[in-house]
Amino acid sequence: MDYKASGVDIDAGNEAVRRIRGLARSTFTPNVLSDIGSFGGLFRFDAGRFREPVLVSSADGVGTKLKVAFLAGRHDTVGEDLVNHCVNDILVQGAQPLFFLDYLGTGRLSPQVAEEVVKGMARACRDNSCALLGGETAEMPGFYADGEYDIAGFIVGVVDKPKLIDGRAIVPGDVLIGLPSTGLHTNGYSLARRVFFELAGWKPETFVKELRATIGDALLATHRSYLPLVRPLVERGIPKGLAHITGGGITENLPRILPEGCSAEIDRAAWEPLPIFRVLQARGRIADAEMFRAFNMGIGLILACSPDDADDIRAGLERGGQARAMRIGKVVSGDRAVRYL
């Protein structure tokens, strides 16, 4: 017996590292002091750029969106989803990303698939000026179904303490501005897969007229990074609070930034949900309350600001290429709940 006969191919692992190394190097900044393959990633932190630097970290995954990637045989987008999700999670506290690490676990390692996954990660890291510092690829025979894998991401960023965003300054009367999502992003896929693939009987290649795309393409639409749009506003200290609308939808995520004594009123007529949400709700006969709790409903990020800043913020976002920034509600007195009008 040898290790390969038991299901672990060291040569395949080495080939995966060879393919990945160049992709990771393409994201390196001058602060990266190590190479892929080191036991630990080295990053020189320039604390002199900040008066009171605060490190912000987060970890997340892509969830069962991976199942859609497996069915479609497409692996070049989920890595991008992973990075952008993590970038947004620290952005809402005002942080800019410094470096990212990944974990990929699989039953039988395919160097080609690993390369495609990391290609998406590297693309997103470059777009977000974030170094892909290192990671782990684990081959665990018998643990995952054949042809399947899981990925997780870990990010570290920094914010100057005076610019830290925590929602404490939010008061009744503040305005809520919504930034559109590209689709489901990375949440709600267990329900979406059941509706589309089990109840409707569709395949990833099924063309859906209402979506003007195949259901596979619609479901694999990349999770948007809001860093390029929101970063200039953060630098100016304008947002009082930022909520990344992920699992739990607006209903569960917006209260996370509301201080005691505040609630939110959301005007559902302020925007038109993306077609995929309408098709999903109709096909699955899903109640409105469940839709707003399971999905982002076309709003991927919510920004809370003073009424005096609302128009300037929307104009700035439009100049940044986001013409659909929408005033979707306001902060009112209450018990940290969301009410839909």
- Give the pLDDT score at 164: 95
**26 and 129 Cβ atoms separated by less than 8 Å:** no
Pick the CATH number of 175-340 from 3.50.50.60, 1.20.120.1200, 3.30.70.2740, 3.90.650.10: 3.90.650.10
Task: Name the pairing type of β-strands 338-340 and 207-208.
Answer: unpaired
Given a cut of 70, is residue 128 above it in pLDDT?
yes
pLDDT band for position 8 (50/70/90)? low
Residues in the chain: 341
CA dihedral 293, 323, 176, 264 (to 10 degrees): -30
Cα separation, 227 vs 299, in Å, equals 15
**189 and 63 Cβ atoms separated by less than 8 Å:** yes
DSSP 35: -
Residue limits of CATH 3.90.650.10 in the chain: 175-340
Ranges assigned E (strand) in 145-233: 149-160, 175-180, 207-208, 213-214
* Poorest-pLDDT segment among 4-8, 30-34, 149-153, 180-184: 4-8
Q: How high does pLDDT run on average in the chain?
A: 92
Give the CA distances from residue 1 to residues 4, 5, 106, 140, in Å, rounded to whole numbers and listed in that order: 8, 6, 21, 17
- Between 240 and 312, the more confident residue is 240
DSSP per-residue codes, 215-280: HHHHHTPPPPP-HHHHHHHHHTT--SEEEE--TTHHHHHGGGGPPTTEEEEE-GGGSPPPHHHHHH
- Give the pLDDT score at 215: 97
- Give the pLDDT score at 7: 66
DSSP 43: B
Kindly indicate whether the domain formed by 10-163 is annotated with CATH number 3.30.1330.10. Answer: yes
pLDDT single digits (tens) 234-271 = 988 889 999 999 999 999 999 999 999 999 999 999 99
Residue limits of CATH 3.30.1330.10 in the chain: 10-163
- Give the pLDDT score at 283: 95
pLDDT band for position 319 (50/70/90)? low
